[in-house]
Copies of this chain bind each other. A is one copy, B any other.
């Protein structure tokens, strides 16, 4: 029975029952974490063979390049080819960096401020105001980068096809709007895949700012945990064909392919942009860790081999997502107090609880030892106007722990909703 259809007395009975169950869970003294999209130890163990691909001194030389020494600021040519294969673009359009794509994103924005981009009239630090489009719910770390630079963050609602493009096309007419975050495949947190039409409209838009940054964080481009691999567009070529060659910056990493702490991050962009950034980054560093790049090249080999590895990750992840969705289907769906998506890839399940109850829900979770991503984190400035969105990150805990955690979450969602409705 839906909570909204219950009488006060029914809600009171229900509250007492759920509360009792919640108190029992609380008494267990749980210490569970569904806060971040962290791979679990089974996944870390899965890729340990990567640490054995370089053995002899000769192994460290790649196509004549000594990976142990200085140099190759844009990355090993073989690593650039590997990621070009995965992303479907050209090797010359790929810059291979250190262990984090977030750092490449941050540095790209930072250089827009300190040096300006290829088509900037001046460095952004010299501008009165910089505005940025933030499809929401979205990735908190993206928003924090923008916020840290003092940008004005503009929320763009997400639809089932991606960001609301009618609104985006209006907003980009403002020359102060300098960029936009995107996670086009298995968006964080909803797991939405941008539709072809959305991608076409994004690639062909004509922002008033000549140096607009279409930030294309393809974090989950090969990260299916259910069903077949879903091909994705080469956004670099697509933007080029629309006369927007230098507008797009694509990012990806192996943080959820090999090791989160010691993967490889890449930026892909037009040849002109890669040349421009390689020159600028050449002031910042003599080169990133080529030994780790080489490990990745020798281990991942090519897109097909990498996709085969991703199926083995999927086999570990699928039961975790199933545990979450089964619990929500059983415990929450019938009550009419929350909605959620059914992603087939990515690292999250996004739950929209009854408006006004997300913070309270997460406080209840915390009280019972279950740490979740902070309420509001998926919105610019950390403020969810509806206090509704909850990001569930089910990948770190083993299934048995996850089932406990999600049971706590379900009871917390129910309690918060009943409190809101009145008990």
List chain A positions with a Cβ less than 8 A from chain B: 36, 38-39, 41, 44-45, 48, 51, 54, 57, 60, 66-71, 98-100, 102-103, 106-107, 110, 113-115, 123, 125-126, 141, 144-145, 148-149, 255, 259-262, 280, 283-292
Cα-based distance from A41 to B48 in the complex (angstroms) = 28
Whether B99 lies near A110 (C-beta < 8 A) is no
Contacts of A102 in B (CB 8 A): 284-286
Contacts of A285 in B (CB 8 A): 100, 102-103, 106
Nearest first, the 6 closest Cβ-Cβ pairs linking A and B are A125-B125, A262-B291, A106-B284, A99-B289, A70-B260, A103-B285
Contacts of A57 in B (CB 8 A): 44-45, 48
Whether B291 lies near A261 (C-beta < 8 A) is yes
**Residue among A57, A66, A113, A262 with the highest chain B CB neighbour number at 10 A:** A262
Whether B113 lies near A288 (C-beta < 8 A) is no
Given A70-B260, A71-B261, A113-B125, is A283 in contact with B145 using a C-beta cutoff of 8 Å? yes
A367 to chain B, nearest CB (A): 24
Contacts of A287 in B (CB 8 A): 100, 261
Cα-based distance from A66 to B36 in the complex (angstroms) = 15
Whether A262 lies near B283 (C-beta < 8 A) is no
Known: A44-B60, A102-B284. 12 other contacts (CB 8 A): A45-B57, A66-B261, A98-B288, A100-B286, A103-B285, A110-B114, A115-B148, A144-B283, A148-B280, A148-B283, A262-B291, A292-B292
Smallest CB gap from A283: residue in B:
B148
Contacts of A284 in B (CB 8 A): 102-103, 106-107, 145
Whether B110 lies near A261 (C-beta < 8 A) is no
Interchain Cβ contacts under 8 Å between A and B, 23 examples:
A38-B70, A39-B69, A44-B66, A44-B68, A67-B262, A69-B259, A69-B261, A70-B260, A98-B98, A98-B289, A100-B286, A100-B288, A103-B285, A114-B114, A114-B125, A115-B148, A141-B286, A145-B283, A148-B283, A260-B286, A262-B290, A262-B292, A292-B292
Contacts of A103 in B (CB 8 A): 284-285
Whether B98 lies near A69 (C-beta < 8 A) is no
Cα-based distance from A68 to B291 in the complex (angstroms) = 16
Contacts of A54 in B (CB 8 A): 51
